Amino acid sequence: MGVDPHPGLLAQWGLEDTAASLEYFAFTVLDACGDVSAALKPQVALFERHGSAGLAVLEKFQAKAAQQDVLVVADAKRGDIGSTMAAYADAWLGEASPLATDSVTLSPYLGFESLRPALDLASKNQRGTFVLALTSNPEGRSVQHIGGPEKSVAGSIVQAAQRENESSAWQNMGPCGLVIGATVGQALSKLNIDLSTFNGPILSPGYGAQGASAEDLYRIFEGIERQVLVNSSRGVLSAGPHRSSLRDAAQRAAEELDSASR
Choosing from 77, 124, 151, 190, the catalytic residue is 77
What is the tens place of the pLDDT at every residue in 141-178? 999 999 999 999 999 999 999 999 998 877 788 999 99
Closest CA to 71 of 207, 218, 259, 203: 203
- What pLDDT is recorded for position 250? 95
Domain assignment present for residue 258? The answer is no
Per residue in 186-221, pLDDT (tens digit) is 999 999 999 999 999 999 998 877 778 999 999 999
So what's the pLDDT on residue 138? 86
Mean of per-residue pLDDT scores for the chain: 95
Let me know if residue 35 belongs to a domain: yes
What domain range includes position 31?
Answer: 2-253
Q: Looking at residue 168, what is its pLDDT?
A: 82
Torsion angle defined by CA atoms of residues 90, 93, 98 and 101, in that order, rounded to the nearest 10 degrees: 170
Let me know: does 223 contact 10? Beta carbons within 8 Å.
Answer: no
Give CA 32 to chain center in angstroms. 19
**Helices 19-33 and 51-67 meet at what angle, rounded to 10?**
20
Q: Is residue 261 part of a domain?
A: no
Give the total number of structural domains in the chain. Answer: 1
Q: Which stretches of the chain drop beneath a pLDDT of 50?
A: none
Q: What is the pLDDT of residue 136?
A: 83
Quick check: 42 and 75 in contact, CB under 8 A? yes
Residue 262 has a pLDDT of: 67
| Residue 77 annotated as catalytic | yes
Domain harbouring 133, CATH code: 3.20.20.70
On the 0-12 / 13-18 / 19+ scale of CB atoms within 10 A, 156 is middle
Q: Tell me, yes or no, whether 114 lies in a domain.
A: yes
Whether 260 is in a domain gets the answer no
Q: How many CB atoms lie under 10 A from the CB of residue 61?
A: 23
User: What is d(CA 130, CA 187) in angstroms, rounded to the nearest whole number?
Assistant: 19
Task: Give the pLDDT score at 211.
Answer: 78
**pLDDT of res. 230:** 95
Measured between alpha carbons, how far is residue 115 from residues 133, 193, 203, 244 in Å?
13, 22, 18, 40
**pLDDT at res. 36:** 94
Q: Please state, as a whole number, how many other Cβ atoms lie within 10 Å of the Cβ of residue 114.
A: 18
Q: What is the pLDDT of residue 212?
A: 85
Asked if 36 contacts 70 with a C-beta cutoff of 8 angstroms, the reply is: no
pLDDT (0 to 100) of residue 175: 93
Percent with pLDDT over 90 in the chain: 89
Residue 216 included in any domain: yes
